[in-house]
Amino acid sequence: MFFLNITEFILFGLTKDPEKQKAIFGVFLVLYLMTLLGNFIIMVTIKMSQTLGSPMYFFLFYLSFADAWFSTTTAPRLIVDSLSPQKIITYNECMTQVFAVHFFGCMEIFVLILMASDRYVAICKPLRYTTIMSQHICGILVILAWVGSCIHSSAQIFLALRLPFCGPNVIDHYFCDLQPLLKLACMDTYVINLLVVSNSGAICTVSFIVLLISYIVILYSLRNHSAEGRRKALSTCTSHFIVMVIFFGPCIFIYTRPPTTFSIDKMVSVFYTIGTPLLNPLIYTLRNAEVKNAMKKLWGIKI
């Protein structure tokens, strides 16, 4: 069967209303700059501070790194396209964006798991904490997270590259992802959608369940700690749990269902691709006294 070789796509965006597009430009430009600034401050604070040398902040550095890049994979194009009459993206740019979104999104998932593991060891196995979570082991775990993210995103791009496109070429989204691309493919996409659900959907769901169980175990083990120890541990775990819910909730909604389009899909995607990377720095600074104190010393900021 002959298929027309599509060399570019047109992104529909969030809306076609000119006035709303101007508002989108202003709002998301501010949100994106705040995201970059917040995550940059956290990364520099952790690197420069002598008091934030524990594994938890080592992993927090990479979470902020993943957040900054995860937001960068979608926000700049959304901002620029909001002022463009034709939101054209080439085929190669689209495939690159699919890879980048899944790479940094998966990286964030794995780092959240590492942070939960660190809290589990610190609270449930305190006497062996320095041995289990040594600097060498933490470095290996981060490398494994990078490798795992690369494998996942490579699988996604492999599926995307197998899709034939013969028109139309309008993607009903503000960035390239497999779900909207499946709707444009000139083939039966049932099997590929199953592979997407078993890949992205399984990673999101299984990771969420693993994290949920780990925090339940942590909370159960806190019954033997002192009141001050429980308060500090609960404060840290609450921050991690909030981040987990606001990230995995939208991901599970998007990637664990049949190829059906809902009107709120775009707003859900906005929340986890742009909103979550913005909220993470706020959650980890406003609820963490050690980070706030380190920022005061390094930046002279009164938080």
Count of CB atoms situated within 10 Å of the CB of 151: 12
Count of CB atoms situated within 10 Å of the CB of 120: 17
**Letter string b/e over residues 249-258, b meaning 16 or more CB atoms within 10 A of that residue's CB:** bbbbbbbeee
Q: What is the pairing mode between strands 8-11 and 170-171?
A: parallel
Look at residue 28 in the predicted model and tell me its pLDDT.
Answer: 94
Provide block-wise average pLDDT over 10 residues at a time, the chain (303 residues).
Answer: 67 87 93 94 88 88 94 94 88 94 93 89 86 92 95 92 85 89 86 84 88 84 72 73 82 78 80 88 77 79 49
Q: In what order do the strands lie in the sheet with 8-11?
A: 88-90, 8-11, 170-171
CA–CA gap between residue 225 and residue 240 (Å, rounded): 19
- DSSP string covering 114-134: HHHHHHHHHHH-GGGHHHHT-
Question: Residue 192 in contact with residue 182, Cβ under 8 Å?
Answer: yes
H helices present in the chain, as ranges: 18-48, 55-72, 75-81, 91-124, 129-132, 135-161, 178-182, 190-196, 202-221, 227-255, 265-270, 276-286, 289-299
Look at residue 303 in the predicted model and tell me its pLDDT.
Answer: 46
CA–CA gap between residue 118 and residue 110 (Å, rounded): 12
Tokens coding 104 = 């940094």
Radius of gyration over every alpha carbon of the chain, rounded to an integer in angstroms: 21
Question: Residue 108 in contact with residue 153, Cβ under 8 Å?
Answer: no
Look at residue 229 in the predicted model and tell me its pLDDT.
Answer: 67
Please say whether the structural domain 9-299 has been given the CATH code 1.20.1070.10: yes
Look at residue 53 in the predicted model and tell me its pLDDT.
Answer: 84
Tokens coding 62 = 């990479």
Angle between helices 18-48 and 55-72 (to 10 degrees): 160
Indicate yes or no: pTM above 0.95: no
The candidate with the shortest Cα–Cα distance to 96, out of 219, 9, 209, is: 9
Domain boundaries, the chain: 9-299
Residue type, 81: D
Residue 185 β-bridge partners: 165
